[in-house]
Amino acid sequence: MAAGEPGDLGGYYFRYLPQKTFQSLSTPETTSRLRQWSMLGRIKAQSFGFDQTFQAYRKDDFVMAFFKDPNVIPNLKLLSESSGQWITLGTEVKKIEAINVPCTQLSMSFFDRLYDEDIVRDNGHIVKCLDSFCDPFLISDELRKVLLAEDSEKYEVFSQPDREEFLFCLFKHLCLGGALCQYEDVLDPYLETTKLIYKDLVRTLRVCATRQLRVTSRRSLTSSWTVSSVMFTFSTTVTVWGRCLSVFSEYYTYYVLFTRVFILIQISR
């Protein structure tokens, strides 16, 4: 098969999009925080395009076709645990496991319960607790206890479906950080960075217009799959009908455009 030709699995043709950048990962404030959390240089996002309609029920074929594509193998970056350097995939993947990760949360009010349950004080300071361990993490505050300690009385503040949300997964990664993480005493840096990166990966743009004009919205619906210790997030959009409130307090129809682009994000400790 010539380079760039569709593979046998689903006929998908993938192309690497190096021109697509993610400013949320390179702002001075974000890089400063990632350095403090021992994550700088250990989180990377890449974009690829594909030429066929994505069908959720065929996600296994889609992911396998991705890893076998000749445009993916020399461009997909992986973090080597032995050297700590970014390397290319370099070879075909023989086996995959595709797991859907929902991306339905579009508001940071999702985390308001941390204040309601006295995990975080009204002034934003994270409540401390007696030290305990959840290998390899030291738990010294109520936030990490909620994230890690299943026997904690407040662990159920977030239900299992909540914990499967991409927003929660990203927040958890940032809160736990890398091997030499310097933890925050207040919640805001975690929330602000989570929001910035999440909005960069999952975009929601709404434009309201007059009655005579069609109103459109572009919204990325994300599905994620985990392969070994690497999280791959494929972001695509589907046609969805809904309502949008105009400045005149009247409702107009909007729809979501299909973009045929997905995002790949890798987070490693």
User: What's the rounded mean pLDDT across residues 10-17?
Assistant: 84
Which residue's structure tokens are 């949360």?
A: 105
> CA–CA separation, 164 vs 181, rounded Å?
24
**pLDDT, tens only, 170-221:** 999 999 999 899 999 999 999 999 999 998 888 644 443 333 333 333 333 3
Say if residue 37's pLDDT is above 50: yes
**pLDDT, tens only, 110-140:** 999 999 999 999 999 999 999 999 988 999 9
Say if residue 260's pLDDT is above 70: no
**pLDDT, tens only, 230-255:** 444 444 433 333 332 323 333 333 33
User: What's the rounded mean pLDDT across residues 76-85?
Assistant: 84
DSSP bridge pairs for 216 = 255
* Angle between helix 28-36 and 188-201 (nearest 10): 120
> CA–CA separation, 123 vs 127, rounded Å?
11
Q: What is the largest CA-CA distance in the chain?
A: 62
